[in-house]
Structure 1
């Protein structure tokens, strides 16, 4: 059955807005070419979008032809403001952006392990509010939050998870109650995969697995361009994966003895110490590099920088460990591509990725390309911004939005 006129207009409007966001600013002629719509239809939709406050003239396009230059139309970036939060076990990072995803202000708040839940929540909420004011924004339209742990796929709520600070759940609930904005919560590793897919190492891949290598270890599964979260939201909890080389097996409430025990930050630092590789120290300009990199990532960079026998042995053993867990993922999913993300994955770069790929080739008949993530620890914040922006688009780019 053909679409009704109103439905057809809504579809055309959303298509034009997506093109203006991705490729804009654009002229009416360019919109006609990209959408395949007729000139009168494009003229009508441009008028509608201007009347709705979503599009405006932002300049003129030079042309070799005679006559006046064509008007350039662009998204009204300040039509909505967004925020993203990256909630870690010991800190919260926030970014505020416009509808085009341009970051307007950022801030980071350390939160100690002995900080009470109420105090931690108030400090984090206060930081978000101050950052929004610094950016000069109107009330936030949508907020994306990336957090470790399980996100209920039905309710979207952060589930209580052993080993995580109690203030995590409190912060999410407080933001949902205090803000008039739409608040979305997603697992941090899933958001990192979205970011690496959009602007990072997996832009040309619709099917891949991302391994998050940071304080903890996690995985995100992207199949045919869609995240796969699992029945309970736990797809990718690879830290609990039983692997050889640990002192025991994990339990339902503790991943010690699982893959986490081999490649989590503490395990990487212990491995580095055994090989005489420092986990912190001065950078080239004399500053403490650990201020920019977590200890495990610093150790990997140090091993690559020195390039001696000890560094080679450390990197070789780390690649062996990573390949153990990755081989299980590859054998079940056959993703064809594995992205080593997070601070440690980015620090290891192409060198560590190549070592893991070589080991996987020996362990599995399924060919798997291994790539280093491009976004490091910033991938979660970028992914959270994408989530917030899509929520705003769905609301604003729909009829009556």
Structure 2
């Protein structure tokens, strides 16, 4: 059944807008060539999108003579301003961008929730307000938030999770109250890191992969056939609860002690480094466990080598379980510890995994560093805003 005229117009408009997003400003003739649409159809969509305020003339093409055919059309980037947040137990980072994703302002603030939930929320909201003001954003269209914990896949709310501060949940409500016109969405931080690695990082060439988050907490994000899989309750990838050998007990429904977290989380990594005599400065810019791994990677002493081997032995316990169930073909080591270990740690894990599993799996280090969660939050906010704005109403 052929599409109705209104549906066809919407499809053509979105196609043109996505081309302008990817290619930058284009002439009507170039849009015609790239879309395969007729000259009158392109002229109509250019007029519609200009009247709707989504595109405008940005200049003239040097390859054309001056006149109507030389006009370059580009997306009105300031049509919508976006904010992305990375919410951690110890603080918040934020960036504000335009509709094309160009970062206009960014900042971060440490938060000590010992001062109370209210002050913690106020600090975080104030950070976002200051970043929006610096960016020249009079209002925010979409706010994307990355946070640890379970996200309800049906309603999108951050669920109660043991060990997480109360201000995390309160912050989302406070941001919606502060920016009442904004679309506020929250996603698990590990899932956002995976989306960013898939779009711009270590998994750009993979439709199926698993991101293993190694940091203060342990988690995994599962991408199958190009789609992020959250699970029925939003708990897909809660690998910290995975029972593994080498622990004193078993995890429970409310405590991952005794699970994979107990052998590969930050506390366990710090203790393992101490056993091997590996040290690092206490006042560095990254978490201490990550600093220990980075120092070991930089060094060549036998103690550092033994520490990295022992750490890889632990990580492969969780990695092998993921591979045996999902056969993803690719694992990305992320989080503070995964990033600090880089290719050196990834290579050790891949070597051990090849001995344990018949399923060929490439292990890669994160390519986006500490900005993966913020990048993922920005990408999801931008996609959400563009999905709404790039579907202009009929005239």
Settle same-fold status: TM greater than 0.5. yes
Bigger shift: residues 164-173 or 22-31: 22-31
Q: Distance in 2 between matches of 1:54 and 1:257?
A: 54
Secondary structure of 2:115's match?
coil
Task: Show the counterpart of 1:366.
Answer: 359
Instruction: Work out the CA distance in 1 between the residues paired with 2:239 and 2:160.
Output: 18
Q: Distance in 2 between matches of 1:311 and 1:170?
A: 42
State the match for 1:340 in structure 2: 333
Cα distance in 1 between the residues matched to 2:115 and 2:258: 28
Alignment of 1:102-121 (within 5 A): 102-121=102-121
Find runs of 4+ consecutive structure 1 residues off by over 3 angstroms: 65-69
Instruction: Confirm or deny: 8 A CA contact 1:228 1:235 kept in the other structure.
Output: yes
Residue 67 of structure 1 and its aligned partner are, at CA, apart by 6.9
**Does structure 2 retain, via aligned residues, the 8 Å contact 1:213–1:342?**
yes
SS in structure 1 at match of 2:270: helix
Quick one: distance in 1 between partners of 2:280 and 2:28?
56
8 Å Cα contact 2:52-2:392 kept in structure 1 = no
Give the distance between the partners of 1:111 and 1:251, measured in 2 at CA: 29
CA distances 1:349-391 after superposition (whole Å, capped 9, x unpaired): 1111111111111111110011100112211111111111111
Partners in 2 of 1:262 and 1:30 — Cα distance? 56
Residue equivalent to 1:228: 229
Aligned residue number for residue 391 of structure 1: 384
Q: CA deviation at 1:51?
A: 1.1
- Between the two proteins, the alignment pairs up a number of residues equal to 392
Number of the residue aligned with 1:204: 205
Shift of 1:56: 1.5
After TM superposition, give the deviation of residue 66 of structure 1 in Å.
Answer: 6.6
* Within-5 A mapping of 1:34-45: 34-45=34-45
CA distance in 2, matches of 1:184, 1:43: 36
- TM-score, normalised by the number of residues in structure 2: 0.96
| Alpha-carbon separation, structure 2, partners of 1:347 and 1:30 | 45
SS of the residue 2:114 aligns to: coil
Q: 1:354 aligns with which of 337, 341, 347?
A: 347
Note the C-alpha offset of 1:113: 4.2
SS at structure 2 position matched to 1:175: helix
Structure 2 unaligned blocks of 5 or more: none
Cα offsets for 1:277-307 (capped at 9, x unmatched): 22326xxxxxx5x22x221221111111111
Counterpart Cα distance in 1 of 2:280 and 2:35: 53
Question: Superposed, which structure 2 residues align to 1:252-331 within 5 Å?
Answer: 252-280=253-281, 290-291=284-285, 293-331=286-324
Tell me by how many angstroms 1:176 deviates.
2.5
Query: What TM-score results when the alignment is normalised by the length of structure 1?
Result: 0.94
- Residues in 2 aligned to 1:25 and 1:45: alpha-carbon distance in whole angstroms: 15
